[in-house]
Amino acid sequence: MYTQNSKDAFNEAKKVIPGGVDSPVRAFKSVGGTPIFIKRGKGACLIDIDGNKYVDFVQSWGPLIFGHCDKSIEKAVKKAVKKGLSFGAPTKLETKLAQKICDLFEAVDMIRFVSSGTEAVMSAIRLARGYTGRDDIVKFEGCYHGHSDSLLVQAGSGAVTFGTPSSPGVPADFTKHTLLAKYNDIKSVQKCFEDSKNIACVIIEPIAGNMGLIPADIEFLKEIKNLCEKHGALLIFDEVMSGFRASLRGATGLVGVKPDLITFGKVIGGGMPVGAFGGLEEVMDQLSPDGPVYQAGTLSGNPVAMSAGIASLEKIINNEEMYEELEEKANMLMQGFKKVANEFDIQLQTDVRGSMFGFFFNENEVKNFDDALKSDTKLFAKFHKGMLKRGFYFACSQFETGFIDTKIKTKHIEKAISAAREVFKEIV
């Protein structure tokens, strides 16, 4: 496969952009090689600047549930662009998108739009702290909630619950209010509530997608909810990824546990930069300008982005049954991968939720971050490379989730499974 143009473009980019990318995972560090530079997308596929075509299982890391260049989203965006790119004043578009989300989520009476998932989570946490008058928060190892300071934490040494910064530039003082618990392990959450009487909220990806795909046990989520109620803390579901991906009502709709706040992003912008956080009126009322908790954004609720979001959600709401079809395809892909892996004595752990899929090169079931880290990342890197060469674009890390969009056809999946067989033959 000829990729010289991408290689040259990457070298040029590296001179002016740190690492040549604007978000680190794009750099292919964990699989080696150079990232491909994209010229355009079309339906289920990406076309790189060397003219190679790939079936895209990344979909801009989740947003593009209708694939690339969807006609109705494109039309809505073009219409909005002609009226002006940004006003910094309210439009009816924001209310329209807000109503759609509030209608679908019982836990969401009111919602505020921001421009990224990071911003949504950061603001939701500030709101939870403002509402409860408490400082500490609980997050789970392996869950990702964007790159704001207090969320860039890792486990400290030994049995301490309080996190330490996972990145230079984050003062330890900023993370000392972040307690770390273990995914799918209720005892670790109980311990947090024993260690601190000052917990404002517990934030969790109810279907974790940022350590590979690891759904939380429903019982575990119920127990977290009980603990939160008992101790007067809020429960935040981070549905930036799973919202409108796992089902029409996200992970919340699948697990039957009602959170106090939900954060959104990715799909709700239809490919444009949109994030949002919402919850019960009583909590949301605390936000400025009505309440004392400050939050703002020059481009928040941007009309072009709102238009893309509305077009995307309207299409979803009118085709609710599409999730069954997406899940069927995701299952077909995962079962296919598992079967061909087994032909070569490779153990593959797979999972599917709606249009989300994940696979680990791991001999044991994966329930938390520690389990995920035991996966064979070297084998994954070889697999990724082999699939890329054959025209299948998967996330360039073992610890990411894959996505099916409505433009991916059964034939794409069948071809991906055959390609996987060829790759396994080559790498084992």
Ligand X SMILES: *Cc1c(COP(=O)(O)O)cnc(C)c1O
Report, in Å, the least distance between residue 121 CB and ligand X: 5
Find the catalytic residue in 238, 351, 371, 405.
238
Sign of CA dihedral 284, 161, 168, 140: negative
378 as an active site residue: the answer is no
> First CA to last CA across the chain, in angstroms?
21
Residue 82 Cα distances to 86, 160, 278, 303, 385, angstroms: 11, 55, 30, 11, 42
Report, in Å, the least distance between residue 117 CB and ligand X: 2
Interacting residue with ligand X among 118, 295, 362, 368 (CB under 6 A): 118
359, exposed or middle or buried, with CB in 10 Å at 0-12, 13-18, 19+? buried
311, exposed or middle or buried, with CB in 10 Å at 0-12, 13-18, 19+? buried
Q: Which is nearer to ligand X, 272 or 332 (CB)?
A: 272
Report, in Å, the least distance between residue 259 CB and ligand X: 13
Q: How far apart, in whole angstroms, are the C-alpha atoms of residue 122 and residue 364?
A: 34
- Per DSSP, 348 falls in state E
Site pattern 124..153 for ligand X (x: CB under 6 A): --------------------xxx-------
Residues 223, 225, 229, CA angle at the centre, nearest 5°? 115
Q: Which residue is nearest to ligand X (CB)?
A: 117
DSSP conformation letters of 295-331: ---TTTT-HHHHHHHHHHHHHHHHTTTHHHHHHHHHH
Nearest alpha carbon to residue 312 among 272, 269, 354, 277: 269
56 as an active site residue: the answer is no
Q: Count interface residues toward ligand X (CB under 6 A).
A: 15
302 contributes a contact to ligand X by CB under 6 A:
no
265 contributes a contact to ligand X by CB under 6 A:
yes
Q: Which is nearer to ligand X, 125 or 413 (CB)?
A: 125
Report, in Å, the least distance between residue 426 CB and ligand X: 32
Give the binding range for ligand X (CB under 6 A) out of 26-34, 161-169, 238-246, 378-386: 238-246
Interacting residue with ligand X among 35, 117, 130, 278 (CB under 6 A): 117
Site pattern 191..220 for ligand X (x: CB under 6 A): --------------x---xx----------
388 contributes a contact to ligand X by CB under 6 A:
no
Q: Which is nearer to ligand X, 142 or 209 (CB)?
A: 209
Nearest alpha carbon to residue 401 among 255, 264, 266: 266
Report, in Å, the least distance between residue 133 CB and ligand X: 25
70 contributes a contact to ligand X by CB under 6 A:
no
Name the token pair of 229. Answer: 């109620």
116 contributes a contact to ligand X by CB under 6 A:
yes
Peptide bond preceding 206: is omega within 30 degrees of 0, i.e. cis? no
Find the catalytic residue in 100, 266, 385, 407.
266
278 contributes a contact to ligand X by CB under 6 A:
no
Q: What are phi and psi of 265, to 5 degrees?
A: -175, -150
Amino acid in position 338: K
386 contributes a contact to ligand X by CB under 6 A:
no
Interacting residue with ligand X among 181, 241, 268, 388 (CB under 6 A): 241
Report, in Å, the least distance between residue 70 CB and ligand X: 20
266 as an active site residue: the answer is yes
Rg of the chain over Cα atoms, rounded to whole angstroms, equals 21
Site pattern 166..195 for ligand X (x: CB under 6 A): ------------------------------
Number of residues written out for the chain: 428
260 contributes a contact to ligand X by CB under 6 A:
no
CB 358 within 8 A of CB 401: yes
Q: How far apart, in whole angstroms, are the C-alpha atoms of residue 273 and residue 282?
A: 27
Find the catalytic residue in 144, 183, 323, 393.
144
Interacting residue with ligand X among 77, 93, 121, 257 (CB under 6 A): 121
Report, in Å, the least distance between residue 147 CB and ligand X: 7
Q: How far apart, in whole angstroms, are the C-alpha atoms of residue 137 and residue 233?
A: 9
Interacting residue with ligand X among 56, 94, 136, 238 (CB under 6 A): 238
Residues engaged in binding ligand X (CB under 6 A): 116-118, 121, 144-146, 205, 209-210, 238, 240-241, 265, 275
Q: Show which residues are catalytic.
A: 144, 238, 266
